Amino acid sequence: MSSTKLKEYLDQENVKYTTIKHSTAYTAQEVAQLAHIPGDEMAKTVIVKIDGKQAMVVLPATDHIDLELLEGALGAKKVSLATESEFMPQFSECEIGAMPPFGNLYHMDVYVEEALSQDKMIAFNACSHNELIEISYEDFARLVKPKVMKISTQYSSAVA
């Protein structure tokens, strides 16, 4: 799904959104800084394998996924990070690591960190490392229907 296709989908669903262009950046925290968005409103997408099945985890840029928390919350036997070679074929129109958090469009379950669900607005990569889309969390939840749970921990201030 390209940025154009994502925008067409949002238009079709009557979602108001803002497109934010920024200098090329690869980490969610760097993107948030360049785009002048609070790190806790910058949603990053992580692909995991839950008992062998790929799923999306969406969490604030200020957090990192806690695989043990996710495993326990789901009652799964094994949760691990998926490798790029495992998931990128599904995201062929996206730059590596710039997948939007719309698992519903990729036939993947989506799990959202509960802290992110408290935000009025969230921003996320739009298939590239220099463009974001910002929408209301309410619209995101309506379209994606994610499962919300405590699945991440914040980076310490010593880790940038």
148, 132 Cβ separation under 8 angstroms? no
Reported as a pLDDT band with limits 50, 70 and 90, residue 142 is: very high
Nearest to 10 by CA among 103, 143, 146, 125: 143
Give per-residue pLDDT as tens, 60-107: 989 999 999 999 999 999 999 999 999 989 988 898 889 999 999 999
Q: Is the pLDDT of residue 158 over 50?
A: no
Give per-residue pLDDT as tens, 9-62: 999 999 999 998 877 776 777 777 777 787 788 899 999 999 999 999 999 989
d(CA 129, CA 94): 9
Q: What is the pLDDT of residue 32?
A: 74
* Percentage, residues of the chain above pLDDT 70: 94
Q: What is the mean pLDDT of residues 2-9?
A: 82
Reported as a pLDDT band with limits 50, 70 and 90, residue 156 is: low
Mean of the per-residue pLDDT values of the chain: 89
d(CA 50, CA 22): 33
Residue 158, classed as helix, strand or coil, is coil
Structure-block tokens of residue 48: 């995991």
38, 72 Cβ separation under 8 angstroms? no
Q: What is the pLDDT of residue 97?
A: 86
Structure-block tokens of residue 132: 């974001």
Single-letter residue type at 149: M
pTM of the model: 0.89
Reported as a pLDDT band with limits 50, 70 and 90, residue 1 is: low
End-to-end Cα distance, the chain: 30
Q: What is the pLDDT of residue 147?
A: 97
Domains located in the chain, CATH noted: 3-151 (3.90.960.10)
Give per-residue pLDDT as tens, 15-26: 999 998 877 776
